[in-house]
Amino acid sequence: MLLGAAFNYLVLPLQIDPATPSAEERLNLNYAGLVLGGVFARAGERVGFGAWGLIGGGGGCLQNQMTGDCRERVAFFALEPELFMHVVVHRNVAISLSAGYRFVAAGAWSGPGSWGLASPAGGLGIVISQFD
């Protein structure tokens, strides 16, 4: 059983639909939540495969790339199930690769709606746990 927390930050804000008022605006997303999951298969002592899911929330903004200011903000609920593989590199540390899909329920705003904010998700992470 895995129990933890995660914070996801979009490193490179996304180009918004060409129909938006300004090409200088980008979509920026940040969200966090509780992570629940488990390992369901092992390949030797060092490699594990499993599933986990994030349930939480966050916010998005239409960000001016020149000034960094947000013209408009929205709050959203996020559910992100993923499949993962981790490789234990030390008895308390593993490197993980994951892939899944981010489902979003967002409030009303002029930016992309809930399906526009939802997308495939992937991750590279460090897992701190007891792997003995």
Q: What is the mean pLDDT of residues 67-95?
A: 93
pLDDT at residue 83 greater than cutoff 60: yes
Tally of domains within the chain: 1
CA 18/CA 3 separation, integer angstroms: 40
pLDDT tens, position by position, 30-46: 999 999 999 898 888 89
Q: What is the mean pLDDT of residues 100-109?
A: 94
| Domain range enclosing 69 | 2-128
pLDDT at residue 75 greater than cutoff 80: yes
Q: What is the mean pLDDT of residues 7-18?
A: 74
pLDDT, residue 127, reads: 87
DSSP per-residue codes, the chain: -EEEEEEEE-SSPEEP-TTSS-TTEEEEEEEEEEEEEEEEEEETTTEEEEEEEEEEEEEEEEEETTT--EEEEEEEEEEEEEEEEEEEEETTEEEEEEEEEEEEEE---SS--HHHH-EEEEEEEEEES---
pTM reported for the whole predicted model? 0.81
